[in-house]
Amino acid sequence: MNDDIKQLERSVLAELEHLGPQLDAPPPRGEWVRAVQIAVADEIDRWYSARRRLALLRSVGGLAAALLLAVGLLHAPESATSWLLVADQPPEQAVEDWLGAIEDSSDQLAELLEQAWTVDAGPADDELPADPFKYLEESLDYFNTLSG
């Protein structure tokens, strides 16, 4: 900050100090502050219920995907599952890895859904990965590799 700006800041702060008491506002009503606290407590409850619903959705989704995969593999003709035999690891391990990848992508999607629920004019979410679909794409790529 150069000297001119510092000088301007000092002058503005002195002026504000002079006018400050006139700018002061009446306080909020006590009952309104309590009403806000109740609304905030309700919002926290809503936030926790939304999280529980997301966790349930994630578990059910993961289970359904695993069941579909298991049923598909059990009932598929031999020719369709022969790739499992030529993969460079045991087929059970390959399926387990793929399920793990699905779970990772599911976690990322759940986080993305949660962020969408809380989307706002606030700052960018530093916790969110740069590319939230990365893990989903990776799991699909891995599946494509396995299926040749």
Partner 1 sequence: MEKGGLDHLLQRACRRDPQALHELVDLYSARLFGLLYRLTGSRETAEDLMQETFLRVVRNIGSYEHDGRFESWLFRIAANLARDHARKRKRRGATATIDFSISAKDSSSYDLADLRQADPAAEVDQREAQQRVNQSLARLSEADREIILLRHFSGLSFNEIAQMLGIPVGTALARAHRALRKLRRMLEGP
Interface residues with partner 1 (CB under 8 A)?
1, 5, 8-9, 11-12, 15-16, 18-20, 22-29, 32-33, 35-37, 39-41, 43-44, 47-48, 115, 117-118, 120-123, 125-128
Minimum distance from residue 47 beta carbon to partner 1 (Å): 6
Minimum distance from residue 51 beta carbon to partner 1 (Å): 9
Contact between residue 136 and residue 104 where contact means Cβ atoms under 8 Å apart:
no
The amino acid at 68: L
Tokens for 55, please give them: 């966790």
Minimum distance from residue 57 beta carbon to partner 1 (Å): 19
Residue 30 or 148 with smaller CB distance to partner 1? 30
DSSP string, 97-115: HHHHHHHHHHHHHHHHHHH
In our burial notation (b when 16+ CB lie closer than 10 A, e otherwise), range 82-101 reads: eebeeeeeeeeebbeebbeb
Residue 28 or 72 with smaller CB distance to partner 1? 28
Residue 43 or 141 with smaller CB distance to partner 1? 43
